[in-house]
Structure formats: structure tokens, C-alpha cells
Amino acid sequence: MDYSGIRIGPQTLADGVAQAFCRGTKEAAAIGANLNGFYEEANVRGQLFTLVQPLTGTGIAAGHIVGAAAAANTQFAVFNPLNSGKNLALIEFAMAVVSGTFPAGPCVHGYIPNIPTLAASGTPISNIMGGGAASVARCYVSSAGAALTGGLAPVGHKLSNFGSTATVQASPYLVGTIEYLDGKLIVPPGVGWVPMFSAAGTNCLLGWSLTWREVSI
């Protein structure tokens, strides 16, 4: 009797047959295969949420510039309330420059170490289109920007995969990025996430979105 739990090579089995072994390679390594999409299980269970800001105003607000002061105007941010009981595992960040002169340098994932007092604006939506559970996150979406009073200064944490020269965006081409973070950044309770740049640029019109998974602590 083989008690290893692995049987080398494929087998032909009918539906409903119980099988005590998983398939292995000739090196006795277990073989796995994805039956569904990578994030499908988390999404079906109501754990995935997205915040989107289709277009910001004319220029990058002060709260999105590296070295920003506390309570600087911010256009797009996601906060995890102190007693949420969840971690926000960041899954995907997307950004698109529509027009204007973008500042030279990279986009940086930043964080604000506490929760500002400004009332939340903008609603994260479940990735189950048209339904799903409500998010625990508090979000800030303002085309012109709003001061996040009571908050500490944002801190740069990690470079994104987007960088630019000081370039005028030319129609019809669209400069943008989709970055698959896959949980490499976690927003714990009492902390917020914010994208940051080297400068304000000139008359920048851009859009952002952030997708995350809410995981019980």
C-alpha cells in the first residue's frame, strides 16, 4: 500500500469517484492546476473592492507630492478604520494620464500613519458588479482635492511600476499603468494609502483606481 498521498502520472477517473492520491511528477512533486480565475474565489466570497476616480482636476494636489505636509489637499486615498477588524491587501493599482504635462519621476505608493478627521467621500464598490458586501474602508475622492485635517504627513513606501519624463500627454495616445500588487502591500487598521508623485505637473488630468481584498484579522 502506498501511503505517500501522491501517485505519479495521470489517471482516468469517472465523476463521483473518490481518489485518495493527488497526481505527482516523476520527481514526486505534487501537480496543481487552476480551475478558476486567480481572484475568483475571493471575489465570490465578497472580499474584493475597488475605488475609482475617473478624472481628477487640473493638476496633482499637494497631498500627492513627495514630502507633502500634514493635512495637505488630497484627491484620492483609501483608509482602513482603526477598529475595522480587517487588513486591506492591495491587489491592483491603475492610473492613466489623459492630458496636461505630467511631472518627471516615478509614482510612489505612500501611506498616512493615522486616520484624518475629514468625512469620507467616494464609495468603494464590490467587485461583484451591481451587488456584494459593503467595504469597511473609508475613502477620499475629490477632483479638486480636499484637506485631510487631523492626519499626519504621508510617507513614501514603495515605487510603483509607473514613471515619466516631464511630458505633455498627446492625444490620442494614453499613458498609463496597471500594477498587480498581489498583496505585497497591506493597509492595516488605522492607516491609509495614497499615491504620490515628484511634483504637481501642469494641468494634469488623470484617473486612478485601486482594488484590494479585505481579510479578517
Read off the pLDDT of residues 101-135 as tens digits, 9 standing for 90 and up.
Answer: 888 788 899 999 988 876 668 889 999 999 888 99
DSSP 176-213: EEEEE-TTSSEE-TTEEEEEEBSS--EEEEEEEEEEEE
**Long-range contacts for 29-33 (Cβ within 8 Å, ≥24 apart)?**
30/6
Task: Please say whether the beta carbons of 110 and 157 come within 8 A.
Answer: yes
Q: Phi then psi for 64, rounded to 5 degrees?
A: -105, 10
Q: Containing H/E element for 110?
A: strand 105-112
As a whole number of Å, the end-to-end CA separation of the chain is 42
Provide the pLDDT confidence category of residue 1 given band limits of 50, 70 and 90. very low
Q: What is the pLDDT of residue 11?
A: 76
Q: pLDDT exceeding 90 applies to what percent of the chain? A: 35
Read off the pLDDT of residues 50-68 as tens digits, 9 standing for 90 and up.
Answer: 999 988 877 888 889 898 8
Read off the pLDDT of residues 185-213 as tens digits, 9 standing for 90 and up.
Answer: 999 999 999 999 988 888 888 889 999 99
Q: What is the pLDDT of residue 190?
A: 94
- Residue type at 204 in one-letter notation: C
pLDDT at 165 over 70: no
Task: Please say whether the beta carbons of 130 and 78 come within 8 A.
Answer: no
Q: What is the pLDDT of residue 174?
A: 61
Name 102's bridge partners.
167
pTM (predicted TM-score): 0.83
| Alpha carbon 154 to chain centroid, angstroms | 17
178 Cβ neighbours under 8 A, 6+ residues apart: 92, 93, 94
Task: Please say whether the beta carbons of 211 and 52 come within 8 A.
Answer: no
- Cα 128 from Cα 103, distance rounded (Å): 35
- Cα 196 from Cα 88, distance rounded (Å): 19
